[in-house]
Amino acid sequence: MESEKDKMNKNSKLKTLIIVESPTKAKVISSILPDCTIIASEGHIRDLPNDELGVNLQTFEPEYFIVDNKNSIIEKMKKALNDSEYLVLATDSDREGESIAWHLKEVLKPTIPTKRIVFHEITKKAILNAMDNPRDVNMNMVNAQKARRVLDRLFGYMISPILWSKLSLRNLSAGRVQSPALKLVVDRELERMKYKVTSYNVVQAILSNSSKSSFSSSVESYNGKRVVTGKDFFDETTGDLKNADDVIVLTPENAKQLALDLQTAEYKVVDIKQKEVRRSSPPPYITSTLQQDANTKLHYTPHITMSVAQSLYEKGWITYMRTDSPYISEEGIQYARKAVEQLYGKDYLLPTARNFVSKDKNAQEAHEAIRPSIKNDMFVHPDDTGLTGREKTLYSLIYARCIATQMKDAVKMSGTVVIEATSEKIEKAVLVSRGMEMRFKGYLKAFEKYKTEDEENVLPSLKTGELLKCISTSAKEAQTSPKNRYTEASLIKKMEEIGIGRPSTYASTLTALITKRYVVRIPRSLQIAPTFLGVEITQFLDKYFEEYSQYSFTSDMESELDKISEHNENTYNYLSSFYAGKGGLKETVEAVNKSVKAQEAKILKFPTIKTDNYEICYGRFGAYIQLGNKKNKSIPKDWLVGDLSNEKIDALLNDTRTLEEKLDDKYVKLYVSPTYGYPVYYSANGKYGPFWFVGSTANKKDAKFCAVPRGTVYTDWSNEDVEYLFSLPRVIGKHPENNEDIQIGIGRYGAFVRNAGVYASLSHPKDIINITIDDAIALIEAKKKKK
């Protein structure tokens, strides 16, 4: 019987048409296979309709249509097909890519031999190997993707209209992944609001040894009881003190007196402990950890990270960027080890190769980890790539993480010194000093350009029984604080941990939450917080769609979809049970539609608001205070949910100043514009939200206006930034493929780039300040692929 490889050898002599997704990918592969015709489908050619359900509720089969602007591309592919003898579908190797390959086959209906190939890096060796090992389209993967798409459509199209009708706002949306991700952010904010902040006091002494080397030490025990010195003594959720009977919370007076008494005490070293601490390198990047690290180290949003990574992959610089697998091929390990030896020497190289396996039971991407592609028998050093801007920065991070996996452990020496202080006034106080000294950098050498470690705190050489001299003492007040708000990085980590979403959905989910104003970024930080609208949607879903709002619901659904991809679950049975089964989605939606009153659904509940005099609600014009028969009071648009308190609301309600008296609040003069020669003002109370304008407050007819971009506050923007915003929209260059202008601007849905009728959103408005032409092209190409 003829093998696939024999067939391939025969087919290689035929006129071959290869279809990929993106023009960039097509261009690179054309240089590898110059005798083949390479055409880009530019993403999906078929999809569900935008203005209707698009799912047959009897069979649960999707009803696809040709995506707008794709007819000309389809005709181009059909024409090329007529001139070809062999068709190769070379779309991406994940479920989405498998689905695109299937759609291409369904629409083009080829009558010539047709095969599917997959590769995880766009290099000559990888492409030729894929061409030598073709296969058929994997229908299990296609069916799993179809089921996922149908589930998302049923969930969104059935629940979103309920939000519109009960919350009286159009364009609200619920999503299988989006809604639980939003719930995580809302639940964390409400938990923070309930947290009880407590003050405590810390007493420290600066001591020196016989060599006159000084160091600090903190009082951790006083007269036989432990002294509260940090957050570990308090419950992280409630803020309550743990084991209150066994510890002392020093008051400011107690602390000052103790610090004073310690000045004349005798100090003696009673114990010294040293321990070697070894840290191994983390695994190579998978999609989620790349997004997390790029957010933390580079301050890239997940959307920007994936756009740049997509461009690096399509240009042949890294392996496929959507993966759950930390595995590296033997060849990849070989070149990582070669790079370590060349850069840092054998002293830093592990004696034997290290590899990693996935711990995720639902991991479904059959790829390698994200690593540099192999070019000319090596991993190309970032400085030798010719890359610039964000592409070089992200490639450098991926390169460092990959080679670090083959480097020795970082070795530190941890030291703890216990000191007793006694005097006539003090029975016994125990002070503790802790230090950490780096002995061998190991894999951290690869990350020297990034701040990955706290500064060293090296203790001087000390001996047990040694007497010390007190140089000074001090008392300092500190406060507990609730858990931090999520950053985009930590939210992705949490989503991955509890099984919400997949690598391909993390970035788009966060982008949707921010674009729809369900969450906002906190100024001058990486943290995100829910808006009042986000709280309203979450509390509505929690109350009336409790089963579907649970984190376990989405996680369990991912497991079922994995079973479908493994052919262990019948697609129709699963979808039918989800939608039409007892207590299913259809039944739940009908019950909510009949029983829930719109006004009741608009009331928001907060743990810090305890009163019968008013309700906090959300309506068409934002959050407001409902005062019974009195006129409602709007909550200022720049208030965060976590700012709410009875005291703050009372102050707002009791503010009886006239409009003239509030004029100073309405227009804040910021600076004089060097471009326009007029003052620039800020107002928080525009009809459509906060805005800047340059001109005169007396004659605004000739003034130039600019809305404060959604998801930010005016203090996020410097004077130079505001001048730049006034200049928008503007052209930043031309697209190399169509030679048409690339324009950037800010519209009602946020910051965007535009080229030849294609709009792509920036994940954060501030990205518009530093966006490069390469960034813009990457966003445009990613948007084309989605279409």
SS3 200: strand
Place of tokens 């939200």: 689
Neighbours of 559 (CB within 10 A): 12
C-alpha distances out from residue 420 to 257, 424, 465, Å? 18, 14, 10
Counts for the chain of helices (H) and strands (E), in that order:
25, 28
CA 174 to CA 180: how far, in whole Å? 9
Amino acid at 517: R
Query: Coil, strand or helix: which one is 590?
Result: helix
Backbone angles phi, psi at 341, to 5 degrees: -65, -40
344: left (phi over 0), alpha (psi -120 to 50) or beta: alpha
The tokens for 610 are: 């305890």
**DSSP H or E stretch at residue 64:** none
Query: In 423-455, at which residue ranges do the beta strands (DSSP E only) sit?
Result: 429-440
Q: Are 138 and 115 in contact (CB under 8 A)?
A: no
- Token pair of 604 as six digits: 């928001």
- Residue 671: how many other CB atoms lie within 10 Å: 13
Q: What SS3 class is residue 299? A: coil
Length of the chain: 787
Nearest-CA neighbor of 20 among 318, 320, 221, 389? 320
Please, are residues 133 and 117 in contact by the beta-carbon 8 Å criterion?
yes
Residue in 320, 327, 344, 544 annotated catalytic: 320
DSSP string, 29-59: HHHH-TTSEEEE--S-SEE--SSS--B-TTT
Q: Which residues contact 623 (CB under 8 A, 6 or more apart)?
A: 532, 604, 616, 617, 634, 635, 639
Which 8-state DSSP code applies to residue 444? G
Would you tell me how many other CB atoms lie within 10 Å of the CB of residue 313?
24
Token pair, residue 461, equals 């050489």
Active site residue 320: yes
Instruction: Enumerate the active-site residues.
Output: 320
